[in-house]
Amino acid sequence: MSITAVVKKNTYFDSVSLMSISTRANQLPGVVQAFVAMGTEMNKGVLGSLGLLTADLEAAGTGDLMIVVEADEGADHTELLTEVEALLTQKAPASGGENAVTYRTVDSAASGTPGANLAIVAVNGAYAGREARKALENGLHVMVFSDNVPVEEEVALKQLAHSKGLFMMGPDCGTAIINNVALCFGNAVRPGTVGVVAASGTGAQEVSVRIHALGAGISQLIGTGGRDLSEEVGGIMMIDGIRALAADPGTSVILLVSKPPAKAVESKVLDEIAKAGKPVVVYFVGGTEEAVVAAGGHFAASTQDAALQAVRLGVDAEASVEEPDPKRVDELVARLTPEQRYVRGLFCGGTLCDESMYAVLDVSDNVWSNIQKNPERQLPAGSASTGHTFLDFGDDEFTNGRPHPMIDPSLRLARLVEEAKDPEVALIVMDFVLGFGAHEDPVGVTLPAIAQAKKTASDAGRHLEIVGYVLGTDRDTPGLDEQVAALDAAGVTVTRSSTETGTFARETARKAHRA
Amino acid sequence: MSTPATSLFSSDLSVINVGLAMFDRDITAQGAQVTTLDWTPPAGGNPEALAALDALEAPEVAERIAAANAEAVERIMSARPMLIGYGRALDVVPGMTPTTILHSGPPITWDRMNGPMKGAVTGAIVFEGLAKDLDEAAEVAASGQITFKPCHEADSVGSMAGVTSASMYVHIVKNETHGNVAYTNLSEQMAKILRMGANDQSVIDRLVWMRDVFGPMLKEAVEFTGPIDLRLLLSQAIHMGDECHNRNGAGTLLLFQALAPGLLQSSFTTAQKKEVFDFVASSDYFSGPTWMAVAKAALDAANGVENSTVVTTMARNGVEFGIRVAGLPGQWFTGPAQKVVGPMFAGYKPEDSGLDIGDSAITETYGFGGFAMSAAPAIVALVGGTVAEAMGYTRDMGEITTAENPNVTIPALNFQGLPTGIDVRKVLATGILPIINTAIAHKDAGIGMIGAGITHPPATAFEQAAVALARTVA
């Protein structure tokens, strides 16, 4: 048998703890006898009577910790001492008591939640960059929901994320579906093999819902943030997203959705198509077919077309969509007065607004909007409508200081009642967005304003047509059917996709003009 | 090949949610893990402080700071303060003169002092024989003949007004590990006392007795006992239910137990020894100043650790609250002294309270006092909380500190060490301010202690410190 003794100078433990530590040290394999105690005269006396008191131990003071281990022949003393010393710092986790653990910072939450892999940052834009950076530094993928994040900060965050192989989705990014979990604004869609990378929130929601309606599902949906394809940001997240989906065995086809990208960025992004090794469908609102086809991609002219092509290429070659009945528009036009010539679109979703506006632009240049690219046709948020008007209530001008219209519909409701008074209005087009993060009953909250608008028009001897599109699925709460039924009952004409909504608006604009 | 993206796609999603609680509900409903932060704007939303915080958290800077802070807390935790004696301030405190008066907190001039501090200063001037009465003492104080100086700038700490004059006896506490020495006045026990602003004849008479009997007897006692290991006593007292700022019952018994043989062997009469024994027994606070000197001796060892963002001083003069930081030795960062919230003695109301005062927050700076509230469940009633809240206080302080002190542990938290080394950056990042247990002095001179409770430093002191640190460190 052999004995090892160590004196840890200037190290204090209370006697009760030391008794417990000694007990556990005695249970270690290879230990014959272990003694862990402060260097008091009494303890040294005990060691002396055991014949264990060495000169080093004799010199220990009351503030010094003595560790004495008597071990089996051949035992590794260094290892045993390490094991005994580990007992000194080993503690049971503190009990939770009445207060559950709450974290104040990303750092502490990340270290307290070992499995964490993604952070949602939805704080004021002035602080969002900092929180996102903390999350990236902790190895977390990030989704920045906040808006008003300076573009330089976005670039820095995306470069940092890229260097770490992490996603930095956003800012101003409403939508993502990761591992079948919808984050922030998103719909309950079927799991599947279509992977989406989208620079537009409602555009992403729309294609995911259309894919679901076609019987297919989503593998991953990566929201890049609205500015990702700008010159400054350079498509960092979209390119990383394409590469991640290309490498993802659960993804059979990739669908890209964006508002019109900067030219140089567009070609950089399209360059990724050839490397993907999977079919890639591209829907860039207002984009051109040549560039996409030249890059080896599949060009989509609408959200419906994008969803359909993706499903046909990656899931079901036979998938199809029922064409809308053109007679519906003819029947409407027949009921209009000669004055009623204009379409008014009141939208929550930016891409939905865009899609209908671009459709009407095909037949008229008298199209006004707060999101018009043509500066001569821009309509500031406070102005009355003129000609064909399309308002995106989710744009910064309207949301400044108030929640998104998907949550707080009050501005849009007031506008609906206002538009009904205009004798030139032939058609009002609205979207209703269901799903996570959205209003709990978007149709229900609008019904009184719809009734009032209809009454205003009929009191003035006019028919007022309202077209409503419900973006949602049978899995959302409330469900799609319930919301559609409520619109039906209120005399609203229901369309089945954003694309069909645009077509209805375009045909009404075209035919009402002619009438 | 495994990348962060493939690993995300193949793992269960676990989200850290910052900012909007509604996402917590949605993600939970979809069966994924979510941890939602209790988030407030960092640095209180002050843009300059936030920029400084960002600069101090930049990876290469943070790395330097982490090494410096590890060094600072190592110094604090390995410091071994020993009670090596008692002596007259004039004889032992560096820089002391017959006309020097030390006070608590950051520097302050006579005209700006609050009621309790003015009361204590005039009382001390009379006690020192520099004026015949309190009125004349006020003239002397205003005349420029008196050198006012923070205790902290004379290796000292002083509870409440902290007023320490030449003839008063002080503890001499030597940090055996690093060699530095800290000093602090003796407890006057009672409530109607000089440090609380009282200054009538009974107060002066007691100071005279302390100078002539109590102090000299303590001095002799330690000459007999030899140095007393105060960190050992502190650890034991905390195991016995003290937090050693507002509750000192166990610590006082332990200290008295260590001193008693020496007191008995001293050259004083039995009648005088009985007076001293009775005086010690009259209040549990006897050891309160002793633990302050322990903390001071340990924290001073960390002053001057370059690049460190660890707080080494929190002190209040009744008008301002000041902090000092290891990496910026000698600089004070101040903000307004805060109200103290807590129970009051019968007959007093919150509006009678003077603002937060005293160097005793040195105990929290070290990691006990309010930080060790979980060790002293007996006094959570005093500070208006439940036992569970007391546990929470210590856990919260863990969020703003650098290490756990293995030498001083808290039984109720499974022997977790004291939360040690307040980090200026963590205070700003979390929005959690240090919690301080303290006494309440009447706002007017001449009255004394009227209650006890808890308070916090002003956030602005930490914001300024961060800005200054960013300038030197980042």
What pairs with residue B405 in β-bridges?
A: B418
Give B395's contacts in chain A (Cβ within 8 Å). Answer: 94, 99, 101
Residue window 455-514, chain A: list those with CB within 8 Å of chain B.
Answer: none
Per the domain annotation, does A338 fall within a domain? yes
What confidence score (pLDDT) does residue A94 get? 46
Contact check, Cβ <8 Å, A179/B15? no
What confidence score (pLDDT) does residue B77 get? 98
Indicate the burial class of B295 (C-beta count within 10 angstroms; 0-12, 13-18, 19 or more).
buried
Give A244's contacts in chain B (Cβ within 8 Å). Answer: 3, 5-6, 9
Q: How far apart are CA A65 and CA B307, in angstroms?
A: 32
Of B80, B388, B414, the CB nearest to A10: B80
Residue type for A82, please? T
Over residues B199-218, the mean pLDDT reads 97
What confidence score (pLDDT) does residue B381 get? 66
Helix A201-213 and helix A303-314, axial crossing angle in degrees, nearest 10? 50
Q: Which domain holds residue A159?
A: 106-314
Asked if residue B195 has pLDDT above 80, the reply is yes
Mean pLDDT of chain B: 95
**Domains of chain B: which residue ranges?**
4-39, 48-77+303-473, 79-294
Give B5's contacts in chain A (Cβ within 8 Å). Answer: 141, 165-167, 240, 244, 247-248
Looking at the fold, whether A233 and A366 belong to one and the same domain comes out as no
Of residues A343 and B392, more confidently modeled: A343
B48-77+303-473: CATH class: alpha beta
* Percent over 70 (pLDDT), chain B: 98
What confidence score (pLDDT) does residue B401 get? 97
A97 touches chain B (CB under 8 A): yes
Give A182's contacts in chain B (Cβ within 8 Å). Answer: 26, 30
Interstrand relation of A118-121 and A141-144 (parallel, antiparallel or unpaired):
parallel
| B125 Cβ neighbours under 8 A, 6+ residues apart | B101, B131, B137, B140, B141, B146, B165
Q: Indicate the pTM of the whole model.
A: 0.81
- To the nearest whole angstrom, how far is the Cα of A304 from the nearest Cα of chain B? 27
Which of B15, B34, B387, B405 would you mutate first to test chain A, the one with the most A CBs within 10 A?
A: B15
Phi, psi dihedrals of residue B287, rounded to the nearest 5°: -90, -5
CATH number at residue A115: 3.40.50.261
Mean pLDDT by 10 residues, chain A (515 residues): 84 72 81 85 80 88 88 86 84 48 89 94 91 96 92 97 97 90 96 96 96 97 95 96 97 94 92 96 88 95 96 95 89 90 94 94 94 89 91 85 82 94 96 93 96 95 95 96 97 96 95 69
Residue window 148-177, chain A: list those with CB within 8 Å of chain B.
Answer: 164-167
- To the nearest whole angstrom, how far is the Cα of B58 from the nearest Cα of chain A? 10
Contact check, Cβ <8 Å, A244/B429? no
Looking at the fold, whether A133 and A62 belong to one and the same domain comes out as no
Instruction: Tell which of A89, A114, A135 closes a domain.
Output: A89
The interface predicted TM-score (ipTM) is: 0.81
Contact check, Cβ <8 Å, A141/B413? no
Kindly identify which residue of chain B lies nearest to residue A88, measuring between CA atoms. Answer: B406
Per the domain annotation, does A72 fall within a domain? yes
Looking at the fold, whether A187 and A260 belong to one and the same domain comes out as yes
Looking at the fold, whether A77 and A110 belong to one and the same domain comes out as no
Per the domain annotation, does A100 fall within a domain? no
Residue type for A324, please? P
Give A164's contacts in chain B (Cβ within 8 Å). Answer: 4
State the total domains in chain A.
Answer: 3
A64 touches chain B (CB under 8 A): no
Contact check, Cβ <8 Å, A167/B15? no
Q: Which helix (H) or strand (E) holds A191?
A: strand A191-198
8 Å CB contact between A143 and A176: yes
Query: CA-based angle B459:B418:A15, to the nearest 5?
Result: 165
| Alpha helix segments (H runs only) across B323-367 | 362-366
Which of A20, A101, A123 would you mutate first to test chain B, the one with the most B CBs within 10 A?
A: A123
Give A145's contacts in chain B (Cβ within 8 Å). Answer: 19-20, 23
Looking at the fold, whether A113 and A235 belong to one and the same domain comes out as yes
Q: Where are the beta strands (DSSP E) in A61-189?
A: 65-71, 118-121, 141-144, 168-169, 175-178, 181-184
Contact check, Cβ <8 Å, A181/B386? no
Instruction: Tell which of A273, A292, A314 closes a domain.
Output: A314
Indicate the burial class of B446 (C-beta count within 10 angstroms; 0-12, 13-18, 19 or more).
buried
- To the nearest whole angstrom, how far is the Cα of B18 from the nearest Cα of chain A? 5
Q: How far apart are the first and last CA of chain B?
A: 38
What pairs with residue A352 in β-bridges?
A: none
Tokens 């210590």 label which residue? Answer: B394
Looking at the fold, whether A288 and A358 belong to one and the same domain comes out as no
Per the domain annotation, does A17 fall within a domain? yes
Contact check, Cβ <8 Å, B431/A104? yes
Query: CA-based angle B460:B440:B410, to the nearest 5?
Result: 75
| B457 Cβ neighbours under 8 A, 6+ residues apart | B314, B321, B323, B335, B338, B361, B433, B434, B436
Looking at the fold, whether A354 and A305 belong to one and the same domain comes out as no
What confidence score (pLDDT) does residue B335 get? 97
Kindly identify which residue of chain A lies nearest to residue B417, measuring between CA atoms. Answer: A89
Contact check, Cβ <8 Å, B19/A123? yes
Give A185's contacts in chain B (Cβ within 8 Å). Answer: none
What confidence score (pLDDT) does residue A394 get? 87
Kindly identify which residue of chain B lies nearest to residue A221, measuring between CA atoms. Answer: B9
Per the domain annotation, does A101 fall within a domain? no
A250 touches chain B (CB under 8 A): yes
Instruction: Tell which of A57, A89, A121 closes a domain.
Output: A89
Q: How far apart are CA A36 and CA A19, in angstroms?
A: 8
Of A130, A165, A180, the CB nearest to B5: A165
Contact check, Cβ <8 Å, B35/A116? yes
pLDDT tens-digit map of B282-307: 999 999 999 999 999 999 999 999 99
Looking at the fold, whether A501 and A365 belong to one and the same domain comes out as yes
Q: Other CB atoms closer than 10 Å to residue B439's CB: what's the count?
A: 25
Of B8, B406, B413, the CB nearest to A118: B8
Tokens 């045993």 label which residue? Answer: A80
Looking at the fold, whether A68 and A145 belong to one and the same domain comes out as no
Tokens of B442: 């009447």
Q: How far apart are CA A33 and CA A19, in angstroms?
A: 13
| CATH superfamily of domain region B79-294 | Enterococcus faecalis V583 domain (3.90.1710.10)
Per the domain annotation, does A96 fall within a domain? no
Contact check, Cβ <8 Å, A178/B26? no
Tokens 């995306």 label which residue? Answer: A158
Looking at the fold, whether A306 and A186 belong to one and the same domain comes out as yes
Give A14's contacts in chain B (Cβ within 8 Å). Answer: 235-236, 239, 409
Q: Which of B139-153, B225-239, B389-403 has the lowest mean pLDDT?
A: B389-403
Looking at the fold, whether A265 and A412 belong to one and the same domain comes out as no
Q: How far apart are CA B272 and CA B277, in angstroms?
A: 9
Over residues B56-65, the mean pLDDT reads 94
Looking at the fold, whether A415 and A462 belong to one and the same domain comes out as yes
A12 touches chain B (CB under 8 A): yes
Of A98, A145, A181, the CB nearest to B32: A181
Kindly identify which residue of chain A lies nearest to residue B230, measuring between CA atoms. Answer: A63
CATH number at residue A38: 3.30.70.100
Per the domain annotation, does A320 fall within a domain? no
Nearest to A273 by CA among A300, A250, A291, A287: A291
A103 touches chain B (CB under 8 A): yes
Neighbouring C-alpha atoms within 13 Å toward the C-beta of B234: 35
Per the domain annotation, does A420 fall within a domain? yes
Nearest to B438 by CA among B185, B247, B298: B247
> Cα separations (Å) of B151 from B86, B147, B206, B406, B421?
17, 12, 22, 29, 21
Kindly identify which residue of chain B lies nearest to residue A180, measuring between CA atoms. Answer: B30
pLDDT tens-digit map of B83-98: 999 999 999 999 999 9
Q: How far apart are CA B243 and CA B361, in angstroms?
A: 12
Give A113's contacts in chain B (Cβ within 8 Å). Answer: 14, 16, 33, 35
Give B373's contacts in chain A (Cβ within 8 Å). Answer: none
What confidence score (pLDDT) does residue A169 get? 97
Q: How far apart are CA A35 and CA A22, in angstroms?
A: 6
Which of A38, A146, A179, A239 would you mutate first to test chain B, the one with the most B CBs within 10 A?
A: A179
